[in-house]
Amino acid sequence: MTLTSHQPARAPAAGRLDLDPDRVGRDLVSLVLTVVELLRQLMERQALRRCDQDDLTDEQVERIGTTLMMLDQRMDELCAEHGLSRDDLNLDLGPLGTLLER
């Protein structure tokens, strides 16, 4: 019930099932991208923690940073390809807040 996407209200009313194949396809894409984005953010967090521990060489840190940066860019491209913005991927979990950081 409270799991509503932050996308602009395209559906006329909440709680109704819209079976337009185009929209179902889009919703699926945005759900998949949401999961990908969640994983990406978790990876970033984990990587930052590792880099802060000081047991990596400068070169390793640089490589991690570059990889994360490219992932971030790739995510932007994927969203653009599907006409979505990063905010569209977020889910409102009601009392728990939002799924992704803002």
Partner 1 sequence: MAGAAPPGAPATTATYVYAVCRGGDESALAGLRGQAPGSPVRLLRFGGLAAVVQDVPAAEFGEDALRERLTDRTELERCARAHHAVIAAAAGVAPVLPFPLATIYRGDARAEAALGADRARLTAALRRIAGRAEWGVKVYARQADRRTAPAADKPERPDRARVAARPGHAYLDRLRGLRHERESRQEAGLQAVEEVDRSFARLAVAARRLRPHDTGLTPGRGAHLLNAAYLVDEARGDEVADAVRRLRRSPECRDVEIELTGPWVPYSFVEAGVTGAGG
The residues of the shown chain that bind partner 1, judged by CB under 8 A, are 4, 6, 8-9, 12-16, 44, 47-48, 51, 61-69, 72, 92, 94-95, 101-102
Residue whose CB is less far from partner 1, 8 or 21: 8
CB of 75 to partner 1, least distance (A): 13
Residue whose CB is less far from partner 1, 22 or 59: 59
CB of 58 to partner 1, least distance (A): 8
DSSP the chain: ---EE-S---SSSTT-----HHHHHHHHHHHHHHHHHHHHHHHHHHHHHHHHTT-S-HHHHHHHHHHHHHHHHHHHHHHHHTT--GGGG-EE-GGG-BSS--
CB of 6 to partner 1, least distance (A): 6
Residue whose CB is less far from partner 1, 64 or 78: 64
Vertex 45: Cα angle to 41 and 8 (nearest 5): 25
